[in-house]
Amino acid sequence: MYPINDRQYLKICAEIAKLMSISLSSAKKKVEIQIAKKGSKTLEEKRKVAQDLLKKCEKDEENKYSSSKILDKLMETLDKEDNFLTED
């Protein structure tokens, strides 16, 4: 798939990247995978797929399911295990 250089499309991908705390190229790749799954051909269809993914990311952000928030939660220590280290 050739790269899409539409300004509006790239702006949507940038918003997705910001919400998911990932790079722009990773966000574009996620959108391109969805485009391939849906078989979108025209630029308008591709923008719609990107917009749908953005809406899903915004919904996840509101529900506290963003990747950065999940990672922060996973990195918290338990009360009794603050100084616990495992050896390899």
Q: Are 57 and 27 in contact (CB under 8 A)?
A: no
Give pLDDT, residue 85: 64
Q: pLDDT at position 30, please?
A: 92
Region 59-85 average pLDDT: 69
Say if residue 1's pLDDT is above 60.
Answer: no
| Calpha distance 58→18 (Å, rounded) | 10
pTM over 0.75: no
68 Cβ neighbours under 8 A, 6+ residues apart: 20, 21
Reduced to 3 DSSP states, what percent helix, strand and coil does the chain have, rounded to the nearest 5?
Answer: 70, 0, 30
pLDDT surpassing 70 at residue 5 = yes
| pLDDT tens profile 12-70 | 999 999 988 889 999 999 999 999 999 988 889 999 999 999 999 888 777 766 666 66
Q: Provide the pLDDT for residue 8.
A: 92
